Amino acid sequence: MGDASDRAHQGLRASLERGEVEVSFGRAETREGDWILVSNSHLRWGTPSAPERLGSLPLSKITFSQQMTRYHRWGVALQHEEIDQVVHVPAHRLLLWWWGNDWATRSFEETTLWFSRRETAAAIALRAALTAREVPSAPPIRLRTPARDDGATFVPLGPVRYPRMRAMRRRLDDLQNHLYHGSLAWRVRLPGWLLFSVPLAFINPWLVPLGLLAFEALAIALLQWVWYRDVVRERPKPSPTR
């Protein structure tokens, strides 16, 4: 094993409770994790770069399972009693806008794991644990297209047909991120456009673009102000001088 797998193995083994015995360790993609450890009583997963986000699911809390295959990969979707885990969340929110990186504890009742193939030691150990505990399950299914919500989608990369257009799009995305410092959802932008442009359309249809620009300018100013306020708050305060 490499250094990353060794660190992940040590971190997961350190989380074992008294009387808990490791059964198998291997690679698996799941929520906030790239490695999984199957013990006689728990499923534990995580990544060596973020030991504070380790996930833990007691086998006794699993209530239902659904095995899946996608190409050569094997996965299982587990339904279970509520568990808590530290996960990635946006650092800042304003109405329907969000930006930045932060971590928070969230509750989950479903966990999906994907393995490179069904014959890996960890996958075999997980199936054996589910069988030994007689966890109810649905018939296995084969996914023809990549799933969108499991965080483990594999999409083969193809050649770039129009590199100049792609580079221009990246520049526009960078400019938008620099101006807005966040994400402006269309369910907010479209009503805003209507609110600012429809009254002007009754006056003169040529004023409609001005209404659209006015809304975008207001959104940029508001998001810039919120971003600057958060930056000022996060600055270290100078220590008082005597």
pLDDT digits (tens, 9 = 90+) for 97-127: 677 778 889 999 999 999 999 999 999 999 9
Tokens for 127, please give them. 């199936």
Answer positive or negative: Cα dihedral of 188, 189, 194, 200: positive
d(CA 108, CA 77): 13
Q: What angle do CA 8, 13, 18 make, to 5 degrees?
A: 160
Contact between 82 and 109 (Cβ < 8 Å): yes
First to last CA, the chain: 56
Structure confidence at residue 152 as a pLDDT band (50, 70, 90): very low
Can you give the residue ranges of every domain in the chain? 3-142, 163-234
- CATH architecture for residues 3-142: Roll (2.30)
- E strand intervals along 90-195: 92-94, 97-99, 102-115, 137-142
pLDDT of residue 60: 95
Phi-psi bin for 19: left (phi > 0), alpha (psi -120 to 50), beta?
left
Structure confidence at residue 33 as a pLDDT band (50, 70, 90): confident
The helix or strand, by DSSP H or E, that contains position 61, with its residue range, turns out to be none
Task: Tell me: pLDDT of 74 over 90.
Answer: yes
Question: pTM (2 decimals)?
Answer: 0.58
